[in-house]
Structure formats: structure tokens, C-alpha cells
């Protein structure tokens, strides 16, 4: 496998690869490297924080106004802790592909909740099924308490069906807009009536609220429940095509190739094995085509984790970790809406591009960063709603340059260019870099990470 292709692979299924890591696998074949990737992600390790404060909580505690307020405050604190734990997992992934897939599915099966118990459970459901059976995955998602609350299915009762989940199930999760009728939505909603959960997060079907009468959905008639509806949806090849398009845009290119989607769909349908699909995609020659290398704009999380993989750092103030996410426009656990974050060029605007280009200096060189006290991101996430933000701040980090020098042992600055930048570099930038040969390795690295070309992977 070409070194450039290995770099491309690890940019897409991870957050980059260091020369030290590259040396260990550069003589292996594509199949051998993929075997290592998939074998290392075959296990599932839940991400868990201490939520023991919820132990022995009763309904009476929740009914008590003062106690409920106390619990909500603690849950908000734990959400920030879980945000950090997830970032830390991404920085130190043992199951690399599974963790990258979890990040992908979090922006597919979009959900938000303020109960840390349900958030942790939901996040680990994404992780558990990230490379598994998509059919089982969708059914599990439909029963998650966080999703039942987020899309109002707890209010979906026989006497008054709520269509919110039924609509988004088809529009955003499985089929895409325009591939179902309003009648299909109504009949589907009836099948999901009575879906609810216990106080502990366990799924239950409230039988008195469930509609047991016949429904007609996609031309089929029967006494369908939610699982039956999902089975009928997945019988449509359009479902496989829709999911393949989402995966292609995330892992390959924002510009869709209809022939490649058709190939992927034929692999994915009708068994819906996510691991088989991903293995096919990563094995395909077209995945490594020149037009796909360095063509993707990094998401804010990919950008931050990529910087960390190059030069490890730690925030001295935990709140600033959330502030950086806020400024870049992606706070883990706090999606903007049910459609999730728009990707590609949507990551970049006049505000975020300045922040993104200054980020290496801010995180690695204690540079000053400016920001506004106005924004539409979640106050809960940044805990900044009760006071005005200062217009400028210094982000304080502890930077591990010794690990950087171990992972990037070459003293030739020009070697760093090919190790850190995979997209084409324009002539003017190359001339600038050529004139920086005498700059220290540390400063030269920060210059590279601050280039517009580093925004691509």
C-alpha cells in the first residue's frame, strides 16, 4: 500500500497517523492493514462515567421541586463530564474504527437529552451497533428513552397518535425525503403507539396506549408494531441506498458517485451488515482515487482531535474545552436540531474560518482568541448563560512536545509537510514554507497546522 493511501485511510477512519505508527504498517498489504483495523474494533467497550448520584432515586425525588432542581443541576454537570470523556476516548481510541463510526452515527441518529443516564445509554447504543446489523440498530434506537423523549414518542398514544418519530424515522434515518407518503407516516405512527420507558431507562410497551388494530403501510396490511414497520422500511432498497449515500459523503467524498453508491447498496442490501459495507468501501480502489484524497473539510471535532494526535495537549480549564467546541460550531451531545450538523462547506463561515486557522496557535502556543457573547449554541453546554463573555481570552493548555518529537523524529522540516498535509499545497504557500527551513521544528509545525490546506483530509 502506498504511504499516501495509508495516510488517507487513517484520516477517514481515524484522525490521522504519525510517522512512528506508519512505520509499523507501511510494508503490509491493504488486506492486512484492514484486518488490523477491523479486528481491533471487533470488541465493544462502553463509555461510562460515575453517575452513582442517580442510585436509589425515586419518583418522589423527581416530584419534589427542590430535589428535582438539584438532580437536574448534577445531570448538567455530568453531561459536560461525559462530553470530556467522549473527547478523551476519541483522543485515545483502542477501537479506532468503531469510535469513528460512533461519531458518524451520532450525526445520523441525531438525539439530545438532559438526563445523563439516558445520554450515556444512548451513546453506548450507537457504539455497540456501530459496526453491526443495521436492522437491529434501528430497532434499538426506536426504543431508547432519549429518542422516545426527543421525538415525542412518549406522547404517541392510541387516542392521539404523535407522528414526529414516525416522520423522522423515514425522512432522516432510513429512506430520505420524498420516499414515503403522508399516509405511511400516519400508519407508522399508530404502530409506535405505547412506546415508553421505565424510570431506570428500560423500554416498555404501554399496552393500553398501543393501537392493536390493522395498519396499511407501504401496501402491506397487518397488526403491525414498531419492529414490523422497521422491517417493512428495510425491505425497500431505497433504505440501503440512503444509508450508503450518507456513509459515502462522510468517508469518501461529499460529491456522490452514483455508480459507487450502487455498488455499496448491492453489498448492503438485504442483509444490512455495516461491517461488510465498510470493509467493501475501504477495500475499493475508488476509495483511494486522487479526487477523494484531501477532499474533505474536517469537522470541528476531527480538527481538534487531529491536532491532539499530532501534538498532545490538555486544557488547564475544563470549561475552555467546551468553549473551543462552541466557537468551532460543534459541541458533542448538543446537535443544532434533529437533522444534525450540516457537513462539508457548511463547517466554514467568516467567523469559524478565522478561529480554525488560529486554533493551532491558540492551543499549542497560548495565543489569544477573540469571541462574541452572542451565539445560538447551547448555554447548558458552555454554562455561560448567567454572565457576559469577555471578548478575548487566552486558552491555557499543557502541551506535550516530547511526544511530538518521538512520533515525528525527522529533523527535516520539509518532511513534516508531507506527514501533516495531504491535500495539494498552492505555489505561494510552498514558497513560503521553503523560506521557513531555518524555523524551529516546533514553530514550523504550528505554521503547517495553521494552513488552509490542513483544514482538509
Listed residues 266, 292, 318: the one ending a domain: 292
Same domain flag for 310 and 449: yes
Residue 371 has pLDDT above 90, yes or no: no
Do 133 and 193 contact (CB within 8 A), yes or no? no
Task: Give the pLDDT score at 93.
Answer: 96
Co-location of 447 and 309 in the same domain = yes
Nearest CA to 313 among 304, 325, 303?
Answer: 304
pLDDT, position 197: 97
Round to whole Å and give the CA distance between 38 and 22: 17
Choose between 293 and 394: higher pLDDT.
Answer: 293
pLDDT of residue 198: 94
Alpha helices in 252-390 (DSSP H): 258-268, 274-283, 300-310, 318-328, 350-365, 379-382
| Domain shared by 304 and 451, yes or no | yes
Which range among 218-227, 252-261, 411-420 shows the weakest confidence by mean pLDDT?
411-420
Phi, psi of 164 (to 5 degrees): -60, -55
Mean pLDDT confidence for 270-291? 98
Q: Given this model, what pLDDT does residue 380 score?
A: 43
pLDDT tens digits for 160-209?
Answer: 999 999 999 999 999 999 999 999 999 999 999 999 999 999 999 999 99
Q: Of 71, 92, 204, whose CA–CA distance to 143 is shortest?
A: 204
Scanning 172-273, the segments in alpha helix (DSSP H) are 182-191, 226-234, 237-251, 258-268
pLDDT band per the 50, 70, 90 thresholds, residue 271: very high
Same-domain check for residues 287 and 370? no
In a domain, 112, yes or no: no
The answer to whether residue 384 scores a pLDDT higher than 90 is: no
- Return d(Cα 279, Cα 369) in angstroms, integer: 41
Predicted confidence (pLDDT) at residue 377 exceeds the cutoff of 80: no
Whether 332 and 287 map to the same domain: the answer is no
In whole numbers, what is the pLDDT of the chain averaged over residues?
94
Tell whether 110 is covered by a domain.
no
The band of 446, judged by pLDDT with boundaries at 50, 70 and 90, is: very high
Residues 327 and 427 in one domain: yes
The domain boundary residue, chosen from 235, 257, 272: 235
Statement to judge: residues 221 and 247 lie in one domain: no
Where in the sequence is the domain holding 269, given as residue range(s)?
3-40+236-292
Kindly tell me the burial class for residue 345, based on how many C-beta atoms sit within 10 Å of its own C-beta (0-12, 13-18, 19 or more). exposed
**Residue 379 pLDDT exceeds 60:** no
**CA-based nearest residue to 18, from 306, 299, 250, 296:** 306
Contact between 272 and 131 (Cβ < 8 Å): no
Same domain for 334 and 264: no
Give percent above pLDDT 90 in the chain. Answer: 87
429 and 358 part of one domain:
yes
Asked whether the whole model's pTM tops 0.75, one would answer yes
The tally of domains found in the chain comes to 3
Residues 171 and 137 in one domain: yes
Chain centre distance of CA 225: 30
Q: What is the pLDDT of residue 385?
A: 40
- Residues 192, 210, single domain; the answer is yes
- Is 21 within the bounds of a domain? yes
258 & 331 share domain? no
What's residue 391's pLDDT?
63
- Where is the domain boundary, 292, 318, 333? 292
Q: Which residues contact 46 (CB under 8 A, 6 or more apart)?
A: 124, 127, 128
Q: State the cell numbers at 392.
A: 478575548
pLDDT of res. 428: 87
What's the pLDDT tens digit per position in 100-149?
999 999 999 999 999 999 999 999 999 999 999 999 999 999 999 999 99
Amino acid at each position: 500500500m502506498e504511504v499516501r493511501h495509508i495516510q488517507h485511510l487513517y484520516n477517514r477512519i481515524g484522525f490521522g497517523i504519525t510517522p512512528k505508527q506508519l512505520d509499523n504498517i507501511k510494508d503490509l498489504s491493504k488486506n492486512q492493514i484492514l484486518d488490523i483495523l477491523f479486528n481491533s474494533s471487533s470488541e465493544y467497550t462502553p463509555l461510562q462515567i460515575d453517575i452513582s448520584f442517580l442510585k436509589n432515586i425515586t419518583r418522589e425525588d423527581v416530584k419534589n421541586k427542590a430535589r428535582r432542581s438539584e438532580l437536574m443541576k448534577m445531570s448538567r454537570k455530568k453531561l459536560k463530564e461525559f462530553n470530556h470523556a467522549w473527547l478523551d476516548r476519541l483522543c485515545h481510541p483502542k477501537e479506532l474504527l468503531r469510535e469513528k463510526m460512533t461519531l458518524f452515527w451520532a450525526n445520523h441518529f441525531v438525539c439530545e437529552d438532559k438526563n445523563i443516564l439516558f445520554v450515556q445509554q444512548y451513546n453506548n447504543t450507537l457504539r455497540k451497533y456501530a459496526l453491526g446489523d443495521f436492522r437491529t440498530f434501528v430497532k434499538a434506537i426506536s426504543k431508547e428513552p432519549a429518542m422516545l423523549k426527543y421525538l415525542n414518542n412518549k406522547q404517541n398514544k392510541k387516542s392521539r397518535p404523535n407522528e414526529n418519530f414516525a416522520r423522522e424515522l423515514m425522512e432522516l434515518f432510513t429512506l430520505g425525503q420524498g420516499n414515503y407518503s403522508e399516509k405511511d407516516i400516519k400508519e407508522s405512527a399508530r404502530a409506535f403507539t405505547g412506546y415508553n420507558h421505565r424510570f431506570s431507562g428500560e423500554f416498555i410497551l404501554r399496552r393500553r396506549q398501543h393501537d392493536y388494530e390493522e395498519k396499511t403501510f407501504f401496501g402491506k396490511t397487518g397488526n403491525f408494531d414498531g419492529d414490523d414497520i422497521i422491517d417493512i422500511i428495510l425491505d425497500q432498497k431505497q433504505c440501503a441506498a440512503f444509508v450508503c449515500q450518507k456513509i459515502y459523503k462522510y468517508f469518501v467524498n461529499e460529491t456522490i458517485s452514483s455508480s459507487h453508491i450502487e455498488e455499496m447498496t448491492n453489498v448492503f442490501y438485504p442483509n444490512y451488515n455495516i461491517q461488510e459495507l465498510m470493509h467493501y468501501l475501504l477495500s475499493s480502489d475508488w476509495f483511494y482515487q486522487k479526487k477523494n484524497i484531501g477532499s474533505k473539510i474536517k469537522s470541528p471535532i476531527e480538527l481538534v482531535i487531529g491536532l491532539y494526535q499530532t501534538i498532545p495537549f490538555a486544557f488547564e480549564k475544563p470549561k475552555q474545552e467546551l468553549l473551543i467546541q462552541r466557537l468551532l460550531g460543534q459541541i458533542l451531545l448538543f446537535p443544532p436540531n434533529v437533522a444534525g450538523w450540516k457537513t462539508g462547506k457548511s463547517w466554514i463561515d467568516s467567523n469559524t474560518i478565522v478561529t480554525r486557522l488560529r486554533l493551532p496557535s491558540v492551543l499549542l502556543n497560548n495565543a489569544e482568541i477573540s469571541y462574541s457573547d452572542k451565539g445560538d449554541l447551547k448555554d447548558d453546554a458552555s454554562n455561560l448563560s448567567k454572565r457576559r463573555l469577555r471578548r478575548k481570552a487566552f486558552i491555557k493548555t499543557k502541551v506535550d512536545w516530547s511526544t511530538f518529537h518521538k512520533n515525528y523524529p525527522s529533523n527535516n522540516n520539509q518532511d513534516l509537510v508531507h506527514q501533516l498535509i495531504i491535500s495539494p499545497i498552492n505555489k505561494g504557500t510552498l514558497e513560503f514554507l521553503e523560506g521557513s527551513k531555518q524555523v524551529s521544528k516546533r514553530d514550523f509545525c504550528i505554521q503547517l497546522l495553521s494552513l488552509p490546506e490542513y483544514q482538509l483530509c
